[in-house]
Amino acid sequence: MKNKNLLYLFVYCDYFIVFSCKEKNKNQLFSSLSSKQSGIDFSNNIDETKLKGGALNEFGYMGGGVGILDINNDGLKDIFFCGNQVSSRLYLNKGEHHFEDKEEKI
């Protein structure tokens, strides 16, 4: 009898886990967008051959930072990426999760 109850408990737990995982996907807060969809195509590429004496540590790979602010006062949050060995880039928010690269204008 104990084995039968244990089997029911296992089946119930398995059923609960499977269906609760499916429910979480419906309430997903974030989703991945490609660079083609968003217009953001920034990469903080590091060329280790340009570093003198291997001066790169773990912080060198993290980039200079990311700033999110409304730079042009249109009510939409714009994104500014700082690069270590690449040019910093400003992306203006055009709405609908699409950004315009303003690299040449900064």
Q: Are 81 and 70 in contact (CB under 8 A)?
A: no
Residues 6+ apart with CB under 8 A from 40: 79, 91, 99, 101
Residue 103: pLDDT over 80: no
pTM of the model: 0.64
- Rounded CA separation 17/64 (Å): 41
- Amino acid identity, position 1: M
Helices (H), 1-106: 2-26, 35-38
Q: What is the pLDDT of residues 13-48, one digit of tens each?
A: 444 444 445 555 678 888 899 999 999 998 888 777
- pLDDT tens figures, 48-87: 777 665 556 666 666 678 999 999 999 999 999 988 888 8
**Residue 6 tokens, joined:** 């244990």
Question: What are the domain boundaries of the chain?
Answer: 31-105
Residue 3 has pLDDT above 60, yes or no: no
Nearest to 79 by CA among 96, 95, 91: 91
